[in-house]
Structure 1
Amino acid sequence: MNGTRTALWELECRWTMGRVVPRDLLSTVGIDLRREAPRRRAYVLAVIRRRAEEIRDEHAELPVDEPSEAMLALSATVLATRETLLDVFTCGDDRTVAYLAHALGTVRRRPRGIGSMGLREDPLGAIETACRAEAPHYGEYVAIRYDRPGPDTFEMRVERCFFHDLFARRGVPGLTAAVCTWDAPWRRTADGPPEAGGPSVTPLDDDACGFRVVRR
């Protein structure tokens, strides 16, 4: 049963991160190009797709399973989009990365079972359960540690990340923040105003990728 569940998780991850998100990202870029540079739209998208394939080939040895294959596909599309937009336009790297973060934010899929967590009696337990349930989607390459340092605190720390490793290798570590914001939708749901009585969600105090959830 566990083997079947793992296979389904890997299939879902490969489909979402490997196909759906890259496709939707390019669709968003295409919509923006239609408005800002309609005559160059087809050319720019063709260059991005070709460059993404080249980047995937350059790093074909990195993936260790289907989820990391999907992460490579998404990373290659993001890297190719950044390179191409920098070549075609003169808006600078910071603005290009900010644009990619915004574009990815418009195509993100909210994790399953998150929307109603603010209504539960144990929001920290619900967040922990949801995060642990999502972890297998990322496969063997990604390492995540979960801690409950106290009854009113839950922490999640990413100790190994495919996106971080690849973007660092390519010399653009700033892209990690643009891509690795999968928790943003439910964080906005969970981290409501103090008067609402929900938990407080904040980044960890150090340089680690992760967050801390504290019961108010």
Structure 2
Amino acid sequence: MAYVGDKLMAAEGRWFMGRFAPRELLDGIDRYLRLEVGDDRVKLLETIRLRAEEIAEQDQDMPVDPQSAGMLALTSTVLAAYETLLPVFDDDPRRTILFLRHMVGAVARRPFEVVFEALGRRKEPLDVIERACRKEGPLYGTYYDIAFDRQSPDAFEMRVERCFFRDHFARHGSPALTTVMCAWDANWMRAVDPAVSGLRAERTTLMSQGDDACRFRVVATDDPLATYHDALE
């Protein structure tokens, strides 16, 4: 049964990364461009699509499983969008990256919130969150190196020590673009509500900022107003 579950998670990972997320990202960019550039958006979106296909074809040697094949489609779309939209943002890399971070962060925001809000309402919420994080391993596939550590009864850490997103962007000389993908994790960290679960989340290090790993911690707190800490911000 666990094997069947892993196969389903792997299929979901490829679909989400390779189809759903790129489509949602382009839809979000389209809505923005409608307001900013009008009909010119059609040419810009087509440029992004064609460039994304070119990048994905060029880097076919990177994926090692269906999940990372899906990730290649997504990171190729992000990279193509960055290259194409940079002039729209006055050739300002920071503004362009912040825009894309916002766009990617909005993809699947509500599903993340619903899942982790629900987990926080259960008995022994830290145990439940730990099991959920471990269970999601097949979603990311074998390219990733992810370690889990229950440091104490009141603290759980997840470390990502190898990341497809970072490696693909670094191959193209744009490691800073990895922060665009880091926006996803802020969704679930914000959804861990200390007032409901007695837990708070934090991300203390990021490979996208030169650290050796991305470290996520969920810790017990008796402060219902405790806020999550994120090294990205």
**TM-score (norm: length of structure 1):** 0.92
Provide the secondary structure at the position in 2 that maps to 1:114.
Answer: helix
Contact 2:68 2:141 survives alignment (8 Å): yes
1:205 and 1:72, CA in 2 relative to 1: closer, same or farther beyond 3 A? Answer: closer
Partner of residue 169 from structure 2, selected from 167, 170, 184? 167
1:125 and 1:3, CA in 2 relative to 1: closer, same or farther beyond 3 A? Answer: closer
CA shift at 1:163, angstroms?
A: 0.4
Structure-2 separation of matches of 1:173 and 1:38: 31
Q: Which deviates further from its counterpart, 70-79 or 175-184? A: 175-184
Partner of residue 187 from structure 1, selected from 186, 189, 196? 189
Contact 1:164 1:173 survives alignment (8 Å): yes
**Which amino acid is 1:183 matched to?**
D
Partner of residue 215 from structure 1, selected from 205, 215, 220? 220
Other-structure match for 2:147: 145
CA shift at 1:184, angstroms?
A: 2.2
Contact 1:25 1:103 survives alignment (8 Å): yes
Provide the secondary structure at the position in 2 that maps to 1:38.
Answer: coil
Partner of residue 131 from structure 2, selected from 122, 129, 153? 129
Provide the secondary structure at the position in 1 that maps to 2:156.
Answer: strand
Structure-2 separation of matches of 1:131 and 1:137: 10
**Which amino acid is 2:177 matched to?**
L
Structure-1 separation of matches of 2:87 and 2:205: 36
Structure-1 separation of matches of 2:183 and 2:147: 17
Structure-2 separation of matches of 1:54 and 1:67: 19
CA shift at 1:197, angstroms?
A: 5.9
Other-structure match for 1:54: 54
Contact 1:167 1:173 survives alignment (8 Å): yes
Provide the secondary structure at the position in 2 that maps to 1:23.
Answer: helix
Q: Which deviates further from its counterpart, 102-111 or 10-19? A: 102-111
**Which amino acid is 1:169 matched to?**
R
Gaps of 5+ in 1: none
CA shift at 1:90, angstroms?
A: 1.1
Other-structure match for 1:154: 156
Contact 1:113 1:130 survives alignment (8 Å): no
Other-structure match for 1:84: 84
Superposed CA deviations along residues 1-59 of structure 1, whole A, max 9, x for unmatched, are 44433322221111111000100100110111111101211000000000001110111
Other-structure match for 2:10: 10
Gaps of 5+ in 2: 222-233
Provide the secondary structure at the position in 1 that maps to 2:149.
Answer: strand
1:12 and 1:89, CA in 2 relative to 1: closer, same or farther beyond 3 A? Answer: same
Contact 1:114 1:130 survives alignment (8 Å): no
CA shift at 1:89, angstroms?
A: 4.2
Alignment identity in percent?
Answer: 47
Contact 1:164 1:176 survives alignment (8 Å): yes
**Which amino acid is 1:152 matched to?**
D
1:183 and 1:57, CA in 2 relative to 1: closer, same or farther beyond 3 A? Answer: same
1:164 and 1:22, CA in 2 relative to 1: closer, same or farther beyond 3 A? Answer: same
Structure-1 separation of matches of 2:189 and 2:17: 20
Structure-2 separation of matches of 1:101 and 1:197: 28
1:5 and 1:197, CA in 2 relative to 1: closer, same or farther beyond 3 A? Answer: closer
Contact 2:22 2:73 survives alignment (8 Å): yes
Provide the secondary structure at the position in 1 that maps to 2:70.
Answer: helix
